Amino acid sequence: MNSTETAARKVALVVGANGVIGRNLIDYLVMLPDWDIIGVSRRGGMSSDRVRYVAADLLDPADSSDKLSRLTEVTHIFYAAYQDRPTWAELVAPNLAMLVNVVEAIEPVAAGLQHISLMQGFKVYGAHLGPFKTPARETDANHMPPEFNIDQQNFLEQRQHGKAWTWSALRPSVVCGFALGNPMNLAMVIAVYASMSKELGLPLRFPGKPGAYHSLLEMTDAGLLAKATVWAATDERCANQAFNITNGDLFRWNELWPKIAAYFQLETAPPLPMSLEVIMADKEALWDAMVQKYGLENNTYKDVSSWRFGDFVFSWDYDFFADGTKARRFGFHEFIDTETMFLDIFDDLRRRKVIP
């Protein structure tokens, strides 16, 4: 490798490497010839030629500094870590602290740092609180705190003053893709719920609020988001900007749900509001039996369960979408059909023997 190639090489630090977003981002970066990748998570991972993993407790400033301060070669930080907590207020301290610990460990030692990419979401717009202005736009006013997404962006904006590096913030809708042991994985929720319904000889019932079946929604494919994330981190026009990133189409569950049922060769029945977290709490034995019966990978019930998140998404009895034109105006034109996205993910889960 000559000196020009060395200088052009980029080193990505993917924080939250085992989540839906981080895992799919790494898969995309590996396909690009000019990137080396370092994945950071609490559990670490299996390193390969292009990807090495670092296990770090990002809530611990000392451990973060010890594990990350030797990574002097990092040029781009892709921050997609998340700590779940029972209440919105409790989310702020840990999620802000993790970002601060990463930046304070890397920025002083990485002389070639070019960009910090922050993964956000529609919580910036108050979408989790109730009916919000749609389509949401990047210029919309912030809402009453607490909100860790906003605190994280404020931290980066203030830290960036006078620095050579820039930041970007990506705002996807619900992100769908492959990952295990993730608290926010809607595609897995639907796939496991449908598989269990089929095993029990039941039709596929929409479990959310009555109004949610008819609301207007959009999703974000994890692979599409990965492309947008790298684009925003490497295109000079995107410096210090936030972007809504979604598939590009809108849907209602009342149209998509029967198509999902058909994929699993299930009939539908009228929606019946029920908490998946409650109703699926006793299904571990059923899952374990299905793993044995169908020769599935030996994933624990906990690893394939995101029931609380499913309840959250299926409770949106109001429109839930944002304006994605800013990204297109700045040069990102990728899109994906949401129905195709779901069916492709289900196919992938079957190939991996996660579901029958």
Instruction: Determine the Cα–Cα distance for residues 352 and 101; give it in Å rounded to an integer.
Output: 35
- Residue 57's Cβ-side half-sphere holds a number of Cα atoms within 13 Å equal to 5
Global pTM exceeds 0.85: yes
pLDDT tens digits for range 74-124: 999 999 999 999 999 999 999 999 999 999 999 999 999 999 999 999 999
Tokens representing residue 234 in the block: 């490497």
Tell whether the model's pLDDT for residue 6 goes beyond 80: no
pLDDT tens digits for range 19-74: 999 999 999 999 999 999 999 999 999 999 899 999 999 999 999 999 999 999 99
pLDDT for the residue 3: 41
Binned at pLDDT 50, 70 and 90, residue 181 comes out as confident
pLDDT for the residue 338: 98
| Residue spans per domain, the chain | 8-175+221-245, 180-218+250-321+336-348
Across residues 335-355, what is the average pLDDT?
Answer: 98
User: Cis peptide leading into 135, omega within 30 of 0?
Assistant: yes
Across residues 154-183, what is the average pLDDT?
Answer: 96
The CATH superfamily label for domain 8-175+221-245 reads: NAD(P)-binding Rossmann-like Domain (3.40.50.720)
Determine the 3-state secondary structure of 151 from DSSP: helix
Angle between helices 61-68 and 88-106 (to 10 degrees): 40
Instruction: Determine the Cα–Cα distance for residues 231 and 238; give it in Å rounded to an integer.
Output: 8
pLDDT tens digits for range 122-157: 999 999 999 999 999 999 999 999 999 999 999 999
Structural contact between residues 28 and 80, judged by C-beta atoms closer than 8 angstroms? no
Phi, psi of 100, rounded to the nearest 5 degrees:
-60, -45
Binned at pLDDT 50, 70 and 90, residue 4 comes out as very low
Q: What is the mean pLDDT of the chain?
A: 96
pLDDT for the residue 8: 78
Instruction: Determine the Cα–Cα distance for residues 27 and 78; give it in Å rounded to an integer.
Output: 13
User: Cis peptide leading into 146, omega within 30 of 0?
Assistant: yes
pLDDT for the residue 7: 52
- The strand ranges marked E within 62-173 are 76-79, 115-119, 166-172
Lookup result for tokens 């301290």: 93
CA terminus-to-terminus distance, the chain: 46
pLDDT for the residue 298: 97
pLDDT for the residue 28: 98
Tell whether the model's pLDDT for residue 183 goes beyond 90: no
pLDDT for the residue 1: 44
Determine the 3-state secondary structure of 80 from DSSP: coil
